[in-house]
């Protein structure tokens, strides 16, 4: 460990001497290597900086007392320079512990497990939608609004969970939060399967949605933890297969299962699948969050060297309580201090709300207009699935390539805004799909044509989803979970509320003008997509989110 008494490096310019001396003195006082700035990864306000310095000062006093006690007892106190050398040697020998340096198979395994989890929890949002008519008969209710709400209340849980789950993952790490939320998710799914009344089912659906939001909130952060920016687009595309296909495949399986075994077995299926996945994750998933990994290393080195002054370069110096207070407001700061985050959230909210509005209307449209049964109507959702896969393939092939190409062309690094290149294409495809779906369903054109409209909607939805999520992850990196949480809250509110209006809107306007209304709103968002592409960097730089 460099001390204030040591000479300044010979290669330093004379004008740099005061700055270097201050840096070395500060480093010694705080108990870390002089070449590691104390603010890497964190920007604290005055109160936070004061608490951080108090924490380090107290840590140093305690360490000196301990060393003095050891010296008086005849033991040799730990040499600070030796501790530094030991730390450096171990850092060199354990570079593979850095998630960026994991072998490819380990990254693929971790990414695959998280993606599988994000397939299961959104699956729960729509898998029992085809069984809702059966459910309402069992509970002797004919309230159409309540029938839609019992589906969308799950998505309302997606809005409530992230604001607690994201900051917890940035204190204790990703894995403990995944495991706890998995356990609670399974418990409330069992409650849904055994629900004695419609009110109880709604409550259990909401709570299962709260804990089911965990992988949607933390998944993007986990990917950012493992993948360097130039390879992150393809990894996020693989990760996104789960949350995109889950809500679409759900009705396909749920329709046949509800018809054969009843709506309660839909929840038992989710319990079985998620229970198996939870065990696999507990055994094979590894922690990815850098501050937690570095802190574990520091704790081990302190124990081995006896040097309590060693600390992680990402240590904010705050107590868990203070850090949680900071973390709990972080998503709100991003949402309200950054116009870019706010626009992203509203845009994603409209797109996501449209998707869940389709989930509540497709069953009615194809049963009434085309005579599909409760089992076969689930197959209609395959159109959305195919469209999503086409969009996913396009984005995964082009995103990283475009990022590198633009960075080389402009010579200004890999800007997050380069991820938004496909956004205008998605913005144009979305209303086109709704116009095709609406008017062909209105005039009962052959059923394959409105499904082609779903396919176009799926492509547009995917491109918008991926472009915005990737831009958020690349912008906030270490705080990606909080950034995605702020976005998830807004989009989930839209996803829960819009379906409640869907059936009444179609009843008043018909399928043609009803879907055209959605299309016109989506058309109004097209200039926004081009504006984000042109002015996104300016908004990001002019309105930075401070004191994270």
Does residue 280 sit within a domain?
yes
**Residue whose C-alpha is closest to residue 203's, from 153, 152, 268:** 153
Cα–Cα distance for residue pair 311/297, rounded to 1 Å = 9
Tally of structural domains, the chain: 1
Does residue 416 sit within a domain?
yes
Over the stretch 239-276, which tens digit does the pLDDT of each residue have? 777 777 777 777 777 777 877 888 888 899 999 999 99
Burial class, 253, CB count within 10 angstroms (exposed 0-12 / middle 13-18 / buried 19+): middle
Does residue 78 sit within a domain?
no
Q: Is the pTM for the entire model greater than 0.75?
A: no
Does residue 74 sit within a domain?
no
Which of 155-169, 189-203, 208-222, 473-487 shows the highest mean pLDDT? 189-203
The answer to whether 254 touches 412, Cβ cutoff 8 Å, is no
Over the stretch 70-103, which tens digit does the pLDDT of each residue have? 444 444 333 333 333 333 333 333 457 788 888 8
DSSP code string of 443-472: TT--THHHHHHHHHHHHHHHHHHHHHHHHH
Helix (H, G, I), strand (E, B), or coil: what is residue 361?
helix
Helix (H, G, I), strand (E, B), or coil: what is residue 543?
coil
Average pLDDT, the chain: 77
pLDDT at 64: 44
pLDDT at 521: 92
Q: How many CB atoms lie within 10 A of CB 537?
A: 17
Does residue 417 sit within a domain?
yes
Angle, helix 174-193 to helix 162-172, in steps of 10 degrees: 140
Does residue 35 sit within a domain?
no
Q: Which residues fall within 8 angstroms of residue 15, CB to CB, at 6 or more apart?
A: none
Q: What CATH number has the domain bearing residue 350?
A: 1.20.1250.20
pLDDT band (50, 70, 90) for residue 68: very low
State which residues form the domain around 166: 103-289+324-542
Least confident of 10-14, 150-154, 173-177, 476-480: 10-14
pLDDT at 184: 94
Q: Which residues fall within 8 angstroms of residue 107, CB to CB, at 6 or more apart?
A: 99, 226, 227, 235
Does residue 332 sit within a domain?
yes
Over the stretch 164-181, which tens digit does the pLDDT of each residue have? 888 788 788 889 999 999
**Residue whose C-alpha is closest to residue 240's, from 213, 211, 210, 220:** 220
pLDDT at 275: 93
**Residue whose C-alpha is closest to residue 269's, from 258, 281, 285, 280:** 258
Cα–Cα distance for residue pair 138/133, rounded to 1 Å = 9
pLDDT at 188: 94
Res 196 pLDDT > 70: yes
pLDDT at 437: 93
* Residue of higher predicted confidence among 378 and 457: 457
């Amino acid at each position: 460990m460099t001390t204030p008494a040591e000479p300044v490096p010979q290669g330093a310019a004379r004008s740099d001497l005061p700055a270097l001396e201050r840096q070395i003195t500060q480093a010694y006082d705080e108990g870390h290597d002089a070449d590691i700035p104390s603010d890497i990864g964190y920007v604290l306000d005055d109160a936070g900086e004061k608490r951080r310095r108090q924490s380090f000062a107290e840590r140093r006093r305690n360490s000196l007392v301990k060393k003095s006690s050891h010296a008086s007892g005849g033991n040799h106190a730990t040499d600070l320079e030796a501790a530094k050398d030991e730390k450096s040697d171990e850092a060199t020998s354990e570079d593979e512990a850095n998630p960026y340096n994991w072998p490819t198979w380990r990254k693929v395994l971790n990414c695959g497990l998280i993606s599988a989890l994000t397939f299961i929890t959104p699956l729960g949002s729509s898998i029992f939608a085809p069984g809702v008519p059966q459910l309402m008969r069992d509970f002797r209710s004919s309230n159409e609004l309540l029938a839609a709400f019992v589906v969308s209340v799950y998505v309302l849980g997606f809005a409530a969970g992230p604001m607690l789950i994201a900051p917890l993952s940035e204190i204790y790490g990703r894995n403990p939060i995944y495991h706890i939320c998995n356990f609670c998710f399974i418990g409330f799914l069992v409650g849904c399967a055994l629900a004695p009344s419609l009110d109880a089912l709604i409550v259990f659906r909401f709570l299962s949605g709260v804990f089911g939001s965990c992988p949607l909130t933390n998944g993007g952060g986990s990917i950012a933890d493992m993948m360097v920016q130039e390879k992150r687009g393809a990894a996020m595309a693989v990760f996104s297969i789960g949350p995109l296909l889950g809500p679409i495949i759900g009705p396909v399986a749920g329709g046949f299962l509800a018809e054969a075994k009843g709506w309660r077995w839909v929840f038992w299926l989710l319990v079985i699948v998620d229970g198996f996945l939870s065990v696999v994750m507990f055994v094979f998933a590894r922690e990815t969050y850098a501050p937690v990994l570095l802190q574990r290393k520091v704790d081990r080195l302190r124990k081995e060297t006896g040097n309590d002054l060693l600390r992680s370069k990402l240590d904010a110096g705050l107590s868990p309580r203070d850090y949680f207070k900071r973390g709990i407001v972080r998503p709100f700061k991003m949402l309200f201090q950054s116009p870019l985050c706010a626009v992203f959230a509203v845009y994603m909210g409209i797109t996501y709300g449209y998707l869940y509005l389709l989930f509540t209307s497709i069953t009615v449209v194809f049963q009434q207009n085309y005579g599909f049964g409760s089992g076969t109507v689930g197959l209609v959702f395959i159109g959305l699935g195919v469209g999503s896969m086409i969009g996913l393939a396009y984005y995964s092939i082009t995103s990283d390539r475009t990022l590198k190409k633009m960075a080389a062309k402009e010579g200004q690094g890999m800007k997050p805004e380069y991820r938004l290149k496909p956004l205008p294409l998605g913005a144009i495809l979305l209303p086109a799909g709704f116009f095709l779906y609406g008017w062909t369903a209105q005039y009962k054109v052959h059923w394959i044509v409105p499904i082609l409209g779903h396919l176009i909607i799926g492509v547009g939805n995917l491109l918008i989803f991926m472009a915005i999520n990737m831009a958020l992850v690349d912008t906030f990196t270490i705080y990606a979970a909080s950034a995605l949480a702020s976005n998830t809250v807004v989009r989930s509110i839209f996803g829960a509320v819009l379906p409640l209006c869907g059936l009444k809107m179609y009843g008043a306007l018909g399928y043609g003008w009803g879907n055209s209304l959605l299309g016109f709103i989506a058309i109004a968002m097209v200039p926004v997509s081009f504006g984000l592409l042109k002015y996104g960097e300016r908004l990001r730089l002019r309105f930075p989110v401070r004191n994270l």
